[in-house]
Structure 1
Amino acid sequence: MINEERVRELYHVAKYDMTEGSKNSQMGHFYRSDYIWKELIKSFFTGTLSFVIMIILTGIYFSKRIIKFFSSFDLEHISIIMVIMYGIFMIIYFLVTYVLYYHRYTQGRRQLKELYEHVKRANKLYEDEE
């Protein structure tokens, strides 16, 4: 005889594995701080690459103005401005990354707890049947 309650619990487990399982698997292996630090380190590299690409594309777009500007070229002034812009960009990028992955981790852990509850109920139903 098929136990409908057990099938319902196993359906929830299978549905989770098909939709959210691969995304939330890391949340079960890391503490929140470790998970967020890992993502912040990855964000450092992606943010730096993004900043460089934005500077290159902006330079291409304003190439005529840049060529005219080279007559009064002050490398020290430009480098200070670029470092300040990079710092501001990375601070904003890190803040967005932190908030985003903090929220994702919190949701993922909540979903993992729900999954474990369904697994516990299914195991209990198996044990009760035996």
Structure 2
Amino acid sequence: MIHEDRVRQMIKLAVYDENKSMGEKKPAQYFRKDYLALEMIKSFFCGTMAYAIIVILGAVYLLGNGAGDISTVNFIRILILTVVLYAVFLGIYLVLTYSIYSARYEKGRKASREYYHTLKRVNEMYRQEDTAKTPEEWL
């Protein structure tokens, strides 16, 4: 005999497995601190690469347009400005990364908790079915 509530719960589990991408399941595999640290390290390197590309493209643009005589350029001022802008850019980028991945972690953990709660209910239904003598006792 088919137990309708168990079928509903199993459909919920199947839908979760089918629709959730690895990006939504990944937070459940880590502790919060480890997940955020991993994402912050990745963001640090990506942000550094992005800033380096922006600086290089800006330098090529200025040199290509003949922005001025190279002998009159104050390299120390440009270097200090570049480092300060890098620190500001990276600081903002990492704060955004932290807030976004914190929210993703909480969303993933909540979905994971719901999944395991549903899984426990299905297992309990199977246990009740195994111990029941008649189909009417399954409920």
Global fold match (TM > 0.5): yes
* AA in 2 matched with 1:123: N
- Equivalent residue number for residue 23 of structure 1: 23
Change (3 A) 1:54 1:101: same
Letter in 1 for 2:8: R
Quick one: which amino acid aligns to residue 95 of structure 2?
Answer: L
Secondary structure class of the residue paired with 1:2: coil
Bigger Cα Rg: 2
Percent sequence identity is: 36
CA deviation string 1:62-81 (max 9, x = no partner)? 43153x25242111111101
What amino acid is the match of 1:47?
G
1:64 maps to: 65
Shift of 1:31: 1.2
Task: Tell me how far 1:101 sits from its aligned partner.
Answer: 0.3
Q: Matches of 1:125 and 1:42 in 2, distance apart?
A: 43
Residues paired across the two proteins, number: 129
- Which runs of no fewer than 5 residues in structure 1 stay unpaired? none
- Root-mean-square deviation (CA, aligned residues, Å) is 1.5
Q: Is 1:11 the counterpart of 2:18 in the alignment?
A: no
Provide the C-alpha distance between the structure 2 equivalents of 1:69 and 1:92, rounded to a whole number of angstroms: 34
Distance across 2 between alignment mates of 1:29 and 1:16: 16
Question: Does the alignment pair 1:40 with 2:50?
Answer: no
Provide closer, same or farther for how the CA distance between residues 13 and 21 of structure 1 changes in structure 2, counting only shifts above 3 A: farther
More displaced 10-residue stretch of structure 1: 38-47 or 11-20: 11-20
Pair 1:85-2:85 in alignment: yes
Provide, for residues 50-109 of structure 1, a one-character-per-residue CA deviation record: whole Å limited to 9, x for no partner: 11122223334443153x252421111111010001000000000000000000001110
Which amino acid is 1:53 matched to? I
CA offset at residue 12 of structure 1?
1.0
1:126 maps to a residue whose letter is Y
Change (3 A) 1:13 1:76: same
Q: What is the letter of the counterpart of residue 25 of structure 1?
A: K
1:21 Cα shift? 5.1
Q: Which has the higher contact order (CA 8 A, sep 6+)?
A: 1
